[in-house]
Amino acid sequence: MGDVPIVSDFVAAEFASVIARLTRTGRITGDEARATFALFDNWRTQSAEDADAEPADIQTATAIIRRLDLNIRAPDAINLAIARRLGASIATFDQGMVQNAATLGIAVAAV
């Protein structure tokens, strides 16, 4: 059996934000959003481990952003800080995130 995905509370909030934005812009209905939330919550409960963001993750993310050699926004820096603390790989389709992870020595899972 493969590695178990880790989903931080911060990632869950980012996911909720995306679904809410899709609803506000009319790309999905409220019913579709609620169904998507339910599917995500069920998947997370059944198939993933939880991780909480910690104050030290914000401090690490701030240090990552202040490096100035990375083109990175706060949410990505926070996700990378959490992954670094946990010794976890990240899963992303964002090539900028992949490059930043590589620069920081954080493994990227195949997606």
What pLDDT was estimated at residue 2? 59
Task: Report the pLDDT value the prediction gives residue 1, as an integer from 0 to 100.
Answer: 41
- At 111 the pLDDT is 76
Q: What's the pLDDT tens digit per position in 45-63?
A: 999 999 999 999 999 999 9
The pTM (predicted TM-score) of the whole model is: 0.90
Query: Domains of the chain: which residue ranges?
Result: 6-50, 55-104
Q: Where do runs of H (alpha helix) occur along 27-111?
A: 30-47, 55-65, 74-86, 95-104
